[in-house]
């Protein structure tokens, strides 16, 4: 790997890492101010969990255990070191999606253990299938350039299973009817969406294997930009200009474009983003009303469903510059396999943790707000 390519990988890793700030802002703005500081702790804890889990076992599951000791001892070669830095950030992104589903009611310790298991074992299994040669060795033609399936479909479904294991917030359902629980800071949430979009250029462009002559990087950048635009339009249209759905639509479009972002025409990317943005209110309503899952920050529509749409659309020829580049059947099979691993694995991890040590804070703590009842702090000192 050339020095320029090493810098390119580290540049991508840095932007993806900064997406964490976007996740924090986007999620905190969508629920009560009484739980904002507590949520920050969850976001910090899962970084620690993923980084150690991925170092000691996760990267080995994904790409071979012969790399583990060199990584631990610092005797790795530059290619492995640069790739580890980039891929651990993908792992961190997949795991941090979970907090959007479990916000305002999960204990810190079981959340940490769950993040450790997902980031160190469950996610790397999917990563091995997608980018470590697993699907190829099974003869499944599957492409997921920047992780619509491996990161977002997976992370969204694991988060939904964790939310199901936890149960809904105390105020969410009255006589089985879902109640709107407005977020406390819409501008903060929208700012978070913009920070995520900024980091997404590292997420998508950084998925190239190297700088090359730059053509692939420009193609990916343009497709990313058009999907972003499509997502905004879809979110605005389907929600009648609701600010959160519109901002989340931008993220949904970016999620969906990831799988085929190196292959889409600009118009194809726009269509994919538009579809992802449009589906949000309907998917959220289905999860809330039919599945009875309290998906606090809409990870179902933004990550799980948009990830699924992205994986499938990467197999639709008329959206691509090269219609023969992918297989619709391969994309469908890959999406199903990823979904099954996420759902079954998520149920085992989070239902197991619930039975073993309990997932949920007490009713009193939840009613009083987790910032003061558990942390003895206030995120906003001027608010009651």
- Placement of tokens 């730059």 in the chain: 214
- For residues 257 and 232, the answer to whether their CB atoms sit within 8 Å is no
Its sign, for the CA torsion 273, 275, 281, 287, is: negative
Q: Where are the alpha helices (DSSP H) in 210-299?
A: 215-239, 243-257, 266-278, 280-285, 299
What dihedral do alpha carbons 334, 113, 43, 384 form, nearest 10°? Answer: 130
Q: What is the pLDDT of residue 326?
A: 96
Per-residue tokens: 177: 């009817």
Q: For the residues of 338-373, what is the DSSP string, one character each?
A: HHHHHHHHHHHHHHHHHHHT--B--HHHHHH-HIII
Its sign, for the CA torsion 85, 90, 95, 97, is: positive
Across the 384 residues of the chain, what is the mean pLDDT of every consecutive 10-residue run?
A: 95 98 98 97 98 98 97 96 98 98 98 98 98 96 98 98 98 95 96 98 96 97 98 98 97 98 98 98 98 98 98 97 95 98 98 98 97 95 70
Per-residue tokens: 225: 């930009």
115 Cβ neighbours under 8 A, 6+ residues apart: 45, 46, 49, 50, 53, 95, 98
What dihedral do alpha carbons 42, 44, 49, 50 form, nearest 10°? Answer: 110
Q: What is the pLDDT of residue 384?
A: 57
- For residues 335 and 150, the answer to whether their CB atoms sit within 8 Å is no
* Separation CA 73–CA 80 (nearest Å): 13
Helix or strand holding residue 174 (H, E): strand 173-174
Q: What is the 3-state secondary structure (H, E, C) of 106-171?
A: ECHHHHHHHHHHHHHHHHHHHHHHHHCCHHHHCCCCCCCCCCHHHHHHHHHHHHHHHHHHHCCCCC
Q: What is the pLDDT of residue 381?
A: 81
Q: What is the pLDDT of residue 382?
A: 73
b/e burial code for range 226-253 (CB count within 10 A of at least 16 → b): bbbbbbbbbbbebbeebebbbbbbbbbb
**Helix axis angle, 123-131 to 78-96, nearest 10°:** 130
Q: Is the pTM of this model over 0.95?
A: yes
Domains of the chain listed by start with CATH number: 3-373 (1.10.3430.10)
Q: What is the pLDDT of residue 383?
A: 67
Its sign, for the CA torsion 245, 251, 254, 255, is: negative
């Amino acid at each position: 790997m050339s020095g320029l390519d090493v810098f390119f990988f580290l540049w991508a890793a840095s932007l993806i890492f900064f997406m964490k700030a976007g996740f924090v802002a986007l999620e905190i703005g969508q629920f009560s101010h009484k739980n904002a500081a507590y949520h920050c702790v969850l976001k910090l804890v899962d970084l620690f969990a993923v980084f150690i889990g991925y170092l000691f076992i996760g990267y080995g599951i994904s790409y071979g255990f012969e790399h583990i000791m060199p990584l631990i001892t610092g005797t790795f070669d530059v290619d492995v070191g640069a790739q580890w830095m980039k891929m651990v950030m993908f792992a961190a992104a997949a795991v941090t999606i979970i907090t959007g589903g479990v916000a305002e009611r999960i204990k810190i310790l079981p959340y940490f253990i769950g993040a450790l298991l997902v980031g160190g074992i469950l996610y790397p299994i999917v990563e091995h299938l997608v980018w470590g040669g697993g699907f190829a060795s099974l003869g499944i033609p599957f492409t997921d350039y920047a992780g619509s399936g491996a990161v977002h479909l997976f992370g969204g479904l694991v988060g939904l299973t964790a939310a199901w294991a936890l149960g809904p917030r105390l105020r969410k359902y009255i006589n089985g009817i879902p109640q709107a629980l407005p977020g406390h800071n819409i501008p903060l949430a929208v700012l978070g969406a913009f920070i995520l979009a900024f980091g997404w250029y590292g997420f998508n462009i950084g998925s190239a294997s190297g700088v090359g002559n730059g053509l692939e990087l420009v193609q990916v950048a343009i497709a990313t930009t058009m999907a972003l635009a499509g997502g905004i339009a879809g979110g605005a249209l389907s929600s009648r200009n609701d600010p959160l759905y519109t901002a989340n639509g931008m993220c949904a479009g970016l999620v969906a474009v990831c799988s085929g972002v190196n292959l889409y025409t600009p118009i194809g990317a726009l269509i994919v983003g538009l579809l992802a943005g449009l589906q949000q209110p309907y998917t959220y309503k289905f999860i809330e009303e039919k599945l009875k899952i309290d998906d606090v920050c809409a990870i179902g529509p933004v990550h799980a469903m948009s990830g699924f749409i992205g994986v499938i659309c990467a197999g639709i020829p008329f959206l691509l510059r090269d219609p023969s580049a992918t297989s619709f059947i391969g994309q469908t099979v890959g999406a199903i396999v990823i979904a099954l691993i996420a759902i079954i694995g998520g149920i085992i991890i989070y239902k197991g943790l619930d039975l073993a040590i309990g997932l949920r804070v007490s009713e009193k703590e939840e009613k009083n707000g987790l910032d003061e009842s558990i942390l003895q702090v206030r995120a906003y000192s001027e608010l009651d």
